[in-house]
Chain A
């Protein structure tokens, strides 16, 4: 993992001192709220519905036990004893006070962390594949490049006051787990026909009110050109992007309005002169970064005990089958820790749980943790001989829910329970769906499905690319939920199709149930996933069932509809 240099530490300390001064000047009146707002946003501090919210960066989702431990301490010391992990691989604290924020930033700086550029109209925290450096399908670890981009974009003097926020994601694997096609810039590490390393550069993707799939700007960019090329893209966007309407200010609109070819010509023209401004130091740094992210020194132990526990403990077996992914070292596994226990707020972890995850990473995980954009925590390198211990310790703090990739593993933004921009709640919808299908004991039968919920059109909950997407809106002063089906967040990114008219807060859970029953009814075999079924049959069968009154359906799908009548939506979530 990357460790800060003296330069990084000085920079970070300087930023903390600056923010402390900015807070003082805001309170004494030298800065107006209008002036202070972009400055606080550049340090991750929002004003939300009930309180301030501090969004702390976890660059490319990678952290170690010390950092996770510090996040727990901050949660206890300045907040309500928990934190919320986000789809941008960050952590948010929902209750900090303005006067405490400089101290929180200091505590973060002490463990080489910060909240820089987690908000504001600047280049945001760069995200990456959460299985980086561990998965079997990887061409190259994306994190050295991600760290290079972090350094380049941090406090970049040209790009701190862009027309709108700017998000970059990178993957080193052909199976895209970083949603690169829904980012302002997506980078895919590729090789050319001479087997030289480079990047496919995708721009103009994004969700929000105008969802767009990114377009390829350069199919092969040699590795050495990454920073001057990114700088050229940013410069073209900064000058050309619209500033008259914030809803048309993202680069996806710039690309849409000018066309990818024109943007490409402008970038290439700019790139020729921009390249001369880099002298090669960046590439020397990249080589150092590659060493910093070298694979851990793997241990070699017998794995008989693992096989034995797998046979003897059905709960462990279920955990293994659901939450583990193949590691490039055959005797290791990638462990996904679900922050989606049925009925819990997706992505939330208590300080006790954070400490446990930190301890497990230290004891059994080569001191590495990841945050996934699916709002779970990953132990990327666990030797199989330690899996049963990890499982049991996770179980002791309610972190052993075996539901990764299943219907209760839902992405949900904070929604109107916290967010000032939200138009409806997301969290209770996620809680109810998870509780309902757990109660019906259908989760494993349904199999792989991704439900993603956003509480407003900005789509932090990625609803467009969920197999089932739910968008909460305000319709004449009442919460209303629209459903999209068939979205896909992988390398084959697809924006989901709208099912039809929306549903009220009490209708949405029964509607999701009907969709799932329809799927179970019409799938060609138990192996056909929800998405495969949808791709085969389209919207029509789902539409037909969902918009037909329930009493008629209960007859036709009697096999699944045994205890389908009570509406869970009215039950209180504790």
Chain B
């Protein structure tokens, strides 16, 4: 069972919805009023997702390696295109990247037990104050 990290620290994953890939989601009748959870790689073109925003309640973006920062720009782009649902980063994200993830529009991070053991809750909580000391938010007057 993976660990979910939010500003409040570690939580267990209570999201019960099944995650679909984009291909699968596109097979579902567009008239369905259900909300879906979507799993996407960090190479996804956000413009492909934009028409589906109303049908999605959670987008989970994979971080295969903490050194690959594409997931940050992807999240920021999705938010700018108007996505208001939940946004989750999953995989190899470091506590030191928590502020970046939050600033780019992620609501939460999903990490493995192994990573949670090595980087305990305290290290993530020390980065939970992601709104302060942010140049870009200051320049964009978001702070």
Contacts and interface: CB of A to CB of B under 8 A. Distances in A.
Interface string B41-72: 00100000000000000000000001111101
B43 to A, nearest CB: 8
A273 B79 CA distance: 11
Nearest to A29: B118
B133 interface: yes
Interface in A25-62: 25, 30-32, 35, 38-39
Interface in A461-488: none
A162 B100 CA distance: 13
A443 interface: no
Given A25-B123, A157-B100, A279-B140, A239 B72 contact: no
A65 interface: no
A279 B81 CA distance: 17
A161 B139 contact: no
Contacts of A547: none
B73 A238 contact: yes
A151 B139 contact: yes
B118 A30 contact: yes
B76 interface: yes
Given A21-B126, A161-B68, A278 B139 contact: yes
Interface size class of A (residues with CB under 8 A): 35 or more
Contact of B70 (A238, A273, A274, A279): A238
Contacts of B73: 158-159, 235, 238-239
Contacts of B138: 7, 151, 281
A285 B139 contact: yes
B113 interface: no
Given A151-B135, A151-B139, A273 B126 contact: no
Interface residues of B, number: 35
A154 B70 contact: no
Interface stretch (A10-18, A176-184, A338-346, A356-364): A10-18
Contacts of A227: 139
Of the candidates A21, A30, A239, the one having the most CB atoms from chain B within 10 angstroms of its own CB is A239
A277 interface: yes
Given A25-B123, A155-B135, A278-B139, A161 B81 contact: no
Contacts of A285: 139
A249 to B, nearest CB: 11
Contacts of A158: 69, 72-73, 76, 100, 104
A243 interface: yes
A471 B133 CA distance: 43
B103 A14 contact: no
B99 to A, nearest CB: 7
Given A151-B139, A238-B69, A273 B96 contact: no
Contacts of B135: 11, 151-152, 154-156
Interface string B117-143: 011100100100000111110111100
B69 A162 contact: yes
Contact of B139 (A121, A157, A282): A282
A155 B69 CA distance: 13
A39 B66 CA distance: 11
Contact of A281 (B43, B133, B139): B139
A325 interface: no
B140 A278 contact: yes
A35 B140 CA distance: 30
A273 B81 contact: yes
Interface centre among B81, B101, B135 (most CB of A within 10 A): B135
B4 interface: no
Contacts of A173: none
A230 to B, nearest CB: 11
A310 B11 CA distance: 76
B66 A239 contact: no
B66 A35 contact: yes
Given A35-B66, A158-B73, A160-B69, A274 B139 contact: no
A22 interface: yes
A279 B69 contact: no
A501 B139 CA distance: 52
Nearest to B138: A7
A282 B136 CA distance: 10
Interface in B62-111: 66-70, 72-74, 76-77, 80-81, 94, 96-97, 99-101, 103-104
Interface in A103-134: 121
Given A121-B67, A154-B135, A273-B80, A22 B140 contact: no
Contacts of B134: 155, 157
Given A11-B133, A161-B69, A239-B73, A152 B104 contact: no
B76 to A, nearest CB: 5
Given A7-B138, A239-B74, A278-B139, A160 B100 contact: yes
B25 to A, nearest CB: 21
- Interface centre among A32, A157, A238, A277, by most chain B C-beta atoms within 10 angstroms, is A157
B139 A38 contact: no
A279 B74 CA distance: 22
A278 B136 CA distance: 10
Interface string A131-163: 000000000000000000001101111111110
A154 B135 CA distance: 7
B68 A157 contact: no
B133 A157 contact: no
Contacts of A274: 80
B108 to A, nearest CB: 16
The 4 A-B residue pairs whose C-beta atoms are closest, nearest first, are: A161-B69, A157-B103, A157-B100, A281-B141
Given A21-B126, A35-B94, A277-B140, 9 more contacts: A10-B132, A38-B66, A121-B67, A156-B135, A157-B103, A158-B73, A235-B77, A243-B68, A243-B70
22 contacts: A11-B135, A18-B96, A22-B96, A30-B120, A35-B94, A39-B94, A151-B139, A154-B135, A155-B134, A155-B136, A157-B103, A159-B69, A160-B72, A161-B68, A227-B139, A238-B69, A239-B70, A243-B70, A273-B81, A278-B140, A279-B140, A279-B141
